[in-house]
Amino acid sequence: MTGFIESSRTTSSESDARLRCIEPNCRAEFPITNRLYSCPHCDGLLDVAYTIGSNYSVEDCKQEFCARKTSPDALDRSGVWRFRELLPFVDFSKVVTLSEGNTPIYNAPRSAGYAGLDALRFKHQGLNPTGSFKDNGMTTGVTQAVALGAPAVACASTGNTSASMAAYAARAGLRAFVFIPADQISYGKLSQSLEYGAKVVEIEGNFDDAMRLVRELADETDLYLLNSINPFRLEGQKTIIIEMMEQCEWQAPDWIVLPGGNLGNTSAFGKALHEMTKLGFIDRMPRLAVIQAEGAAPFYELFASTDRSQLHPVATPQTLATAIRIGNPVSWKKALRALHCTNGVVERLTEQEIADAKAIIGADGIGCEPASAATLAGIKRLVASGTIDPSANVIAVLTGNLLKDPSYTIGYHTDELAIEQHGAQIQVKGNFANRPIRTPANKDEIRRALAL
Ligand code: F0G
C-alpha cells in the first residue's frame, strides 16, 4: 500500500485506465487519450475503467486520505484529489484545482421533523468554490481537457455546469464556450459565467436543444465537451460519495437522496458506491433515491414503467427548479444501472412541495437552491409511502447554494412565485413565507410594526 500511495503523489503512470462502453453487448475499450464521449461502435455511454493497485490496504488508504487534510499541498487540500487513488487516470502534477469538495455534513432537525424522520443530514455541495457540486467533476474534467491538449472547452447548461466550467477553464487558461437556454437560467449562475470570461451563447430553445447542438459542435470542431456525458467529469463527482463515507467513518447510511436532472450525479454516485463496496471501503450498499420535478420527470416515468429499455423524453420540460428542467437526460442508462446496483427508487414532486421544502431547509439555517430542496420534499413523500423508515439513517445531497437563485427565494417569501403549466398559470403559495415588512423611516412606526 505504501508504495501505491507514494507513487500516486505525482503520477498515475502505473494506471491501466481506459474508456469502456457500458453496453453489455459491446464493452469496447479505448485509450483515455482518445477524445470520445460515446462508443464509436454502438453509441453507448463510456466509463473510465481501471484496475486499482492490487497490493494496497484499504485501511492505509483511509488513513492517508485523512492525513492529507492537514497537508499544505494543493492536491491534498482538494476534497477531490485527496482521494486520488480512486481517480487513477491523470498526471497528478498537472491538476487544475480550486480546492473543491471538503463540503460539510449538517444535522437538520427541523427538516427531519418535516419529513417525518427521527434524524436527517445534509451534505452541502453548495459550499463548493462556484457554489455547486459541479466543481467536484469540473476539476477532473478540465484536468483531462488539459491532458488532451484541448484549446477550448464547451458545455450546455442550466447554469451550474457553465459557472463551474467557466471558472476552471479560466484557471487553466482555456477558452470556454457556454450554451444556455435563453432566459431560463438564474441570474446568479449567468453572472458567474460572464465574470469568469466564458463566451456565453443564449440558445433560443431549451436545455435539451442546447445539449444536442453542443454535442454536434464538439464532434465537428476541437471543442472539448464537459457535460456529464464526459466520463472524466463523473470520476470527480464520485468523490462526493467517498468524502461522505469518510465523514460517516466509513459506515454507509441507509439512504442517499439526490435530485435528478441530466442524471450525471446519479451515475457518478452509483459508480462510487459500486467501486467502494467492491474494494472494501464500505461493507454495505446504501440505497439511492433520485428526485425529479413533476414537469421534468422522464426518469421517474421510465423507472415506473415495465419496459425500461427506452427513455421517453419530455418535449417541453417545466419547473421553477431550473437546474433540473431537463426533458432528455443523457446519462439515463448509467443512472438506471446505479439504481439497479443500489436497489434505488425514483420520486417526483409538485412545484409546491419543492418550494415549501426549500423554506424548511432555510429554517434549519442551511439554505439551498430549488433543485436541491427536492431532496427533502422527496424524503417526506418516501417516508409517507413507507419506502423510507422513520428511523432510517438518511443523507440528502444539497447540490447548489441558496444564493444561486435569489429571485426564486424572494418570489416564495413574497407570494409571487408562479409557473405556467399546460397553458395555465399555477401560483406557488408561500406556506412558510417570511415576508419583509416595509415601514417609514421612523422609530415609532418600526416599534409598532414589530410590536416591540
Ligand atoms: N442540482 C443542481 C443544483 C444542478 O445544477 C443540477 C444539474 C442537478 C441538481 C441535477 O444533476 O444533471 O447530474 O442529474 N445541473 C446541470 C447544469 C444540468 O447544467 O448545471 P444531474
Q: Best of 399, 402, 408 to mutate for ligand 1, by most ligand atoms within 8 A of CB?
A: 399
Choose the residue to mutate in 103, 157, 161 for probing ligand 1, maximizing ligand atoms within 8 Å of C-beta.
161
Report CA(228)–ligand 1 centroid distance (Å): 9
CA-CA-CA-CA dihedral for 402, 69, 267, 89, to nearest 10: 130
Position 53 confidence tier, pLDDT thresholds 50, 70, 90? low
Which pLDDT does position 15 carry in this prediction? 80
**pLDDT tens-place string over residues 307-364:** 999 999 999 999 999 999 999 999 999 999 999 999 999 999 999 999 999 999 999 9
**Does the C-beta of 157 come closer than 6 Å to ligand 1?**
yes
Q: Is residue 269 scored above 90 in pLDDT?
A: yes
d(CA 343, CA 412): 35
Ranges assigned E (strand) in 307-442: 345-349, 394-398, 417-421, 424-428
Which pLDDT belongs to residue 2?
27
Residue 422's pLDDT band (cuts 50, 70, 90): confident
Please tell me the predicted confidence (pLDDT) of residue 12. 53
Give the cell for residue 78: 482538494
Q: 183 phi and psi, to 5 degrees?
A: 65, 15
Number of neighbouring beta carbons within 10 Å of residue 445: 11
Could you give the 3-state DSSP secondary structure of residue 280?
Answer: coil
pLDDT band at 7 (very low <50, low <70, confident <90, very high): very low
Instruction: For Cα atoms 334, 211, 31, give the angle at the middle one, nearest 5 degrees.
Output: 55
48/40 Cα distance (integer angstroms)? 15
Place of cell 418570489: 411
The reported pLDDT for the residue numbered 13 is 53
The per-residue pLDDT for range 147-188, each reduced to its tens digit, is 999 999 999 999 999 999 999 999 999 999 999 999 999 999
How do strand 175-181 and strand 199-203 relate by DSSP bridges? parallel
CB burial readout 40-63, b (16+ within 10 A) else e: eeeebbbbbbbeebeebeeeebee
> Would you say 428 and 412 are in contact if contact means Cβ atoms under 8 Å apart?
yes
The owner of cell 433540473 is: 324
In which residue are the cell numbers 462526493 written?
240
Q: In this predicted structure, which of 54-58, 186-190, 241-245, 353-357 has the lowest mean pLDDT?
A: 54-58
Ligand 1 within 6 A of CB of 378: no
- Mean pLDDT computed over every residue of the chain: 95
Rounded to 10 deg, the angle between the 264-279 and 231-247 helix axes is 60
Distance separating alpha carbons of residues 397 and 120, to the nearest angstrom: 11
Which grid cell sits at 140? 477532473
Residues 167 and 136 sit within 8 Å (Cβ to Cβ): no
CA–CA dist 155, 223 (Å, integer) = 9
pLDDT of residue 212: 97
Residue 205: CB atoms within 10 A of its CB come to 15
Residue 5 pLDDT grade (very low, low, confident, very high; cuts 50, 70, 90): very low
CA nearest ligand 1 atom 15, residue: 323
- Whole-model pTM: value is 0.96
Look up residue 412 and give its three cell numbers.
416564495
DSSP for 319-350 reads: -S-GGG--SS-TTHHHHHHHHHHHT-EEEEE-
Q: Is 111 touching ligand 1 by the criterion CB < 6 Å?
A: no
Looking only at Cα atoms, what is the longest distance across the chain?
77
Residue to mutate, 211, 267, 324, 325, ligand 1, most ligand atoms under 8 Å from C-beta? 324
Determine how β-strand 121-124 pairs with β-strand 394-398: parallel
Q: How confident is the model at residue 1 (pLDDT cuts 50, 70, 90)?
A: very low
Handedness of CA 4, 5, 11, 17 (dihedral sign): positive
pLDDT tens column, 80-89: 999 999 998 8
Which pLDDT does position 54 carry in this prediction?
A: 61
